[in-house]
Amino acid sequence: MTEISIIVPVYKVENYLSQCISSILEQAFSDFELLLIDDSSPDRSSEICDDWAERDMRIRVFHQKNAGVSAVRNRGLREACGRYVVFVDSDD
């Protein structure tokens, strides 16, 4: 079982997303999964998520119809496999 699930809501964050993902992946602790939940972002965020997922097997991407941040977080909780869950905003 994965120790930590990191859930990142994604919507209109193309300018911040790569830095956010990179920062998470650079952590010394590596027993985590990174769930990127795309809420039908109209910018390039969706493509950025898919590109990162191809590079690292810890990243899982979910694309859904726009439903707002609460629905995105709930989707992340449903998909999470970790013993613990943490939320990170894309512009953190």
Q: Mind giving me the DSSP string for 21-81? A: HHHHHTSS---EEEEEEE---SSTHHHHHHHHHHH-TTEEEEE-----HHHHHHHHHHH--
Instruction: Please report the domains of the chain, with CATH numbers, ordered by start residue.
Output: 4-87 (3.90.550.10)
Its pTM stands at 0.96
Residue type, 45: S
| SS3 label, residue 1 | coil
Q: What is the mean pLDDT of each run of 10 residues along the chain (92 residues)?
A: 97 97 97 99 98 99 98 99 97 78
- Pairwise CA distance, residues 27 & 41, whole Å: 27
Q: Give the chain's radius of gyration (CA, Å).
A: 12
